[in-house]
Amino acid sequence: MSSKLGFLLSLLFLVPVLAYMGDLYSLQLIHADLDAVALQAGYQISRSNGLTSAIEDYVKESSGASIKALSSEAYFGAEYKFVVYKDYAPLIIQSQTMVVSVTREAILGYQQ
């Protein structure tokens, strides 16, 4: 009888821990996806000398995220700062929606 009660009590601790681990894993996957998309978007921004609607569409289609320019200057050789972000509704970490973001920079006009 006591082992059954101990098992039931252990489930009270196990379920929140599993939900927390699921949240951390999901956040890591979203961040890795945003990082990969931001890398490609930075390359495209560098070649097109700024943020274009084609780059915004690429980010939206490939990861369901949004992109926003943080720099207002767009001339040859400038450092162009941008952020790629996506909303995430966690299971247990927070009750509100979280915004996962990746901030990157690109040098405008730089071609390899």
What is the value of pTM for the model shown? 0.85
> Residue 74 burial by CB count (10 A; 0-12/13-18/19+): exposed, middle or buried?
middle
Beta partners for residue 82, in sequence order: 69, 104
The pLDDT value recorded for residue 13 is 86
Q: What does the mean pLDDT of the chain come to?
A: 91
The pLDDT value recorded for residue 1 is 67
Per-residue pLDDT tens digits for 8-59: 888 888 888 899 999 999 999 999 999 999 999 999 999 998 899 999 999 9
User: Residue 71, Cβ neighbours under 10 Å: how many?
Assistant: 16
Q: Could you state, in order of their start, the residue ranges of all structural domains in the chain?
A: 2-107
